[in-house]
Amino acid sequence: MTRREIIKLFEASGLALTPSRPLTLFTQYNNKMDKKEFEVIIIGGSYAGLSTAMTLGRSLRETLVIDAGKPCNQQTPHSHNFLTQDGSTPKEISEIAKSQVTKYDSVRFYDGLAVSGKRSNKGFEITTSKGDIFTAKKLILATGIKDLMPDIKGFSECWGISVVHCTYCHGYEIRNKKTAIIANGERAFHLSSLVNNLTKEITIITSDKKDFDENQLAKLKQHNIQIIEKEISEIKHQNGQLEKIVFKDGSTEIFECAYASIPFEQNSNIPKELGCKLTENGHIEVSFMQKTTEEDIFACGDNSTMMRSVSMAVSSGTITGAMVNHELTQENF
Ligand SMILES: Cc1cc2nc3c(=O)[nH]c(=O)nc-3n(C[C@H](O)[C@H](O)[C@H](O)COP(=O)(O)OP(=O)(O)OC[C@H]3O[C@@H](n4cnc5c(N)ncnc54)[C@H](O)[C@@H]3O)c2cc1C
């Protein structure tokens, strides 16, 4: 049954139509679907995955999007720097995207977690946590990354609200505020140079001042950027709004916001399981056209780039969709 047929059924039942009702119904129907074979499976249905799905849907490709529904930015109240959606909530952006992709009948959605993947005579076999198995000729990984929260009380509650990772996403909103930069060495120095254009009240909080060379220390001094060499024990906050940083020696310092550089890991083990090479930084290695090191496997979005943003995820998704469609076309033409 197509999405349009489901909406018609829904309307015939006399229930009020809302933008989300047909979509929910469609998703529920798809979860019970008996279709198991596709041309393409996309694991991850956030910005990168949906963007890929739109391109493939518009190319009439039988596509399955498997999504666990946990994008990395879900805690941030507003998303910025994405044209036409500047200041929207992350959910608003993905809901509009999903409702638009749902229009393409060849794209199906499955709510759930893909837990393993292997090659088969049909291309790939993907198994979900509910035990469903789907196959496809091409596999697209749009799985994102997981930020690893440091062991600091209050940190994760402030993440994306008043403790942020990116000047382009949130810097404008926290301009001219008393700002901490929680990072070490090169990363702290680089962030300071960017943040210096947004506020003049900057303090770097680092575990080791010796990570800076003489030139860097001179530059930081020239711009009146303070350095605190102490370990943080807690971030005091009100509903995610940073109020003060507490150090392990018991001292405190008042701040209004912070930038933090924290480690990450891949959200999914499937890329590794299928032999995709990772870069030194831990991203999936991809070519200019989003191809991984493994035949017929593509990756897009945060899992394969340092340029982390909604616009980049959407852009790499579009490239991936076009490249996968191109390969399928060449194979069948
Ligand atoms: C706190 C924070 C705030 C941000 N603010 C901004 C901002 O203001 N502006 C901006 O442009 N960018 C912002 N970003 C960056 C932006 O959110 C990311 O670049 C973008 O979400 C990447 O999209 P993606 O589709 O690659 O991954 P994600 O959006 O992280 O989505 C990955 C999806 O894949 C699913 N998934 C993963 N593994 C599996 C699996 N095995 N099976 C099924 N599903 C799976 C996940 O559940 C999730 O739905 C922010 C990031 C963070 C962390």
Give the model confidence (pLDDT) of 239-281 as tens digits.
999 999 999 999 999 999 999 999 999 999 999 999 999 999 9
Alpha-carbon span 190 to 174, nearest angstrom:
18
Does the pLDDT of residue 8 top 70, yes or no? no
Q: Which of 11-15, 40-44, 47-51, 294-298 has the lowest mean pLDDT?
A: 11-15
Residue 6 pLDDT greater than 70, yes or no: no
Whole-number pLDDT of residue 3: 60
Structural domains in the chain?
A: 33-147+264-332 (3.50.50.60), 155-260 (3.50.50.60)
Pocket lined around ligand 1, Cβ cut-off 6 Å: 43-49, 66-73, 75-76, 79-82, 113-114, 142-144, 147, 159-160, 169-170, 267-268, 301-302, 308-311, 313
Who wins on pLDDT, 116 or 14?
116
Quote the DSSP letter at residue 177: S
Counting other chains too, the contacts that 27-31 makes at CB distance below 8 Å and 24 or more residues apart are 27/109, 27/111, 29/1, 30/108, 30/109, 30/110, 31/110, 31/111, 31/112
- pTM of this prediction? 0.92
Q: Which of 46, 141, 306 to mutate to test the pocket of ligand 1 (most atoms within 8 A of CB)?
A: 46
Please give the pLDDT value at position 34.
77
Distance (Å) from CA 299 to ligand 1 centroid: 14
13-17, 84-88, 245-249: least confidently modelled range: 13-17
pLDDT at 209: 85
Lowest mean pLDDT: which of 1-5, 55-59, 197-201, 270-274? 1-5
